Chains A and B, each alone.
Chain A
Amino acid sequence: MDLDFTPEEEKFRAEVREWLEANVPAEPLASFDTAEGFAAHQEWEARLHGAGLSVVTWPVEYGGREASLTEWLIFEEEYYRAGAPGRVGQNGIYLLAPSLFEFGTPEQKARFLPPMASGEEVWAQGWSEPEAGSDLANVHSRAEKVDGGWLVSGQKTWSSRAVHGHWLFALVRTDPDSVRHHGLTYFLLPLNAPGVTVRGIHQLDGYAGFAEVFLDKVFVPDDQVLGEVGQGWKVAMSTTGSERGLTLRSPGRFLAAADRLVDRAREAGPLDDGLREDVADSWIRARAYQSYTFQTLTRILDGESIGPESSINKIFWSEMDLRLHETGLRLLGPAGELVEGAPEAVDGGRWADGFLFALAGPIYGGTNEVQRNIIAERVLGLPREPRSKR
């Protein structure tokens, strides 16, 4: 065991910290699910990119700096400590890019990765459908082969960032006789193409963070198929592993939130024992999450693959995040209800907003019930639950 960072890693931390201190906007940006906020966040991504900090682990040729996973963790820790803006491009960076690196052609990588890194092109997720939520393989959208490409028709939903974003990465059935996860293909589809209709869906925070995307014979050229035709499930799964694993939720986020919670508790005056214990519990869990992540990192560096155990991670952070924000609201008492824009909101209303955001955690990226099934059957090897056949 050696939990120290190398001098090079500490130097990297100092550089990141210095840049963030000089550049993070003093006032929080408007929500990136508004037109104004979206533009402001794109501008922020461009600045981050200019400093070589938007996609630190990527190869230099695509806009990264080939940072190690350890350095990525350091970057994230500093990013959240500095209270820097949310990442408007995170769906592309964390969900699509891993698949692009693994399955993309050299042309696709050169075409799509650089504008993703700079925030110029923002990607929306296009997997879920009205009938394909937890049961993601139940995709009904179809594509028909035509000369030079495909005509895609169907309906996607819960597509984050689709209202203001530019591209959709979508899972579509290309073999009409196929069922379940067979016969699916992974498409890269421009949201401004003829035949695309986007309707925003307002989330609990009041902003249209999701959208329904209606596709009516949208032409997608052959060179915008990612991976092989019929292999879409495999391509998408390389991405979901990434979403549930190390990459989407870094410890820095929760450590920063737990520290803010402790600050609030210090300012709140005398607290009952129950509330004090709950504050301590959130802080303990955020720190445990960091240690767990270091353990995962060690295993990855030792050449192990993480696989279904990433479901353990997803349950832990999503429940921890929710508990932390519930405790935050209790600490604030009557002011806990006040949201962004309220004259007397504490911390700009971030506790109530953070609570709403945390509520989504146990649902997206595979509900926690799906994760428990995965843990039971694929991590622990319990007998499979009988599945209905379709």
Chain B
Amino acid sequence: MRLGLTPEHKQFGDAVAGLLEAHGGAEDVWERLAGLGVPAVLVPEEHEGAGGDEVDLLAVLEQAGRAALGEPVVEAAVAARLLSGIGGDLAAEWLPRLASGEALVVAAPGPYVPHADRAGLVLVGEGGAWYAVEPEAGSLTVQRSLDPLRRLSAVRVPEGSVPVAEGALAAEAFDRGAALTAVQLVGVARRLVDFAVRYAGERSQYGRPIGSFQGLQHQIADALVDVEFARPAAYKAAYALAKGEAEASLDASGAKALASDAALHAAKVSLQVHGAIGYTMELDLHRWLRRAWSLASAWGDASHHRRAVAAKLIG
């Protein structure tokens, strides 16, 4: 019985954190991430990947969240597993290129798919099935959104397309996206709490740091409780997926519900603690707020996942 990261996991996460600290913000770091082996983790060895599992991505995803990284680490990971499940020519063609960073493949529920405009192949989830779309003129429309670094495009599945994945393989991909996004949200949320703590310690009013007022202390403490309970739930969900456990879907939905709520809560509290300066583009805080809002609803919001759990448990 062990629920926690190994030193190797932490090292991997630290390497990614170091990279993101040096090349943060809006910079395109996908090639650099590929250099560290991030998109290769879930690609099988036979397709020139690392043959790892979801647990091997935990530290990386949490650091990606902490850095408000916009790159589609989750969507590429889901694509890797989907392609290996699909197999055949599609897998042989795209998996080695995904692993090396030569091409980007993203998988996400439609209609708005992050980074679809720079992907070589897009896997779109619709009505419980997945469709492969090769982006070309007319198949996608770039959008503007609250979180510009997510680069959303509306992706149209051509009429008469045949699904590339259905049934259990398809369903598991939705669960995987939810669970891995939950891990990333934990990183986002914890950073938002840390920002609140830092600012509340620096900013003084009425002759004392605002962080010494119970009215703020208790709000920040409550935000932390939510984050700290979402983390092990998200780890557990990733583990359950890696092991192919029967209840992995319940764990994935549970993790996403908790992490979405925790991130929205942390965003609200952190903005309130920062006051007017938090409501501007002068601080970087807005990047984490935007990421909390966008990832909270990506792959199904909290309410969607609670309803999914209810449907499985109650019927």
Contacts and interface: CB of A to CB of B under 8 A. Distances in A.
Contacts of B209: 382-383
Contacts of A289: 229
A311 to B, nearest CB: 8
Contact of B1 (A280, A297, A369, A371): A297
B1 A291 contact: no
Contacts of A283: 254, 309, 313
Contacts of A291: 3, 232-233, 235-236
Interface in A249-278: 262, 265-266, 271, 273, 276-277
B230 interface: yes
Contacts of A381: 197, 201
B225 interface: yes
A315 interface: yes
A284 B307 contact: no
Interface residues of A, number: 51
Contacts of B310: 265, 276-277, 279-280
A193 B2 CA distance: 48
A281 interface: yes
Contacts of A297: 1, 3
B150 to A, nearest CB: 26
A265 B311 CA distance: 11
B3 A3 contact: yes
B228 A276 contact: no
Interface of A: 1-5, 9, 70, 262, 265-266, 271, 273, 276-277, 279-281, 283-285, 287-289, 291-292, 294-295, 297-299, 301-302, 309, 312, 315-316, 369, 371-373, 375-377, 379-386
Contacts, number: 160
A375 B197 contact: no
B4 A284 contact: no
A8 to B, nearest CB: 12
Nearest to B6: A1
Contacts of B236: 3, 287, 291, 294
Interface string B199-237: 011000000110111101110111011001111110110
A266 B4 contact: no
A380 B212 CA distance: 12
Contact of B228 (A2, A292, A376, A382): A292
A73 B172 CA distance: 30
A284 B221 CA distance: 21
Given A291-B232, A292-B232, A372-B217, A280 B211 contact: no
Interface string B301-313: 0010011011001
A70 B230 contact: no
A1 B55 contact: yes
Contact of A299 (B1, B4, B220, B257): B4
B220 A376 contact: yes
B208 A298 contact: no
Interface residues of B, number: 47
8 contacts: A4-B1, A5-B1, A265-B310, A284-B253, A284-B257, A288-B258, A292-B233, A382-B209
B62 interface: no
A44 B201 CA distance: 53
B127 interface: no
Interface in B269-315: 303, 306-307, 309-310, 313-315
Contact of B233 (A280, A288, A371): A288
A265 B12 CA distance: 44
A173 to B, nearest CB: 28
B225 A312 contact: yes
A380 B208 CA distance: 18
A362 to B, nearest CB: 12
Contacts of B257: 280-281, 284
B4 A316 contact: no
Given A1-B3, A2-B1, A375-B225, A284 B309 contact: yes
B235 to A, nearest CB: 7
A315 to B, nearest CB: 5
B94 interface: no
Interface in B149-169: none
Given A279-B310, A376-B218, 5 more contacts: A277-B306, A280-B257, A284-B253, A316-B229, A382-B197
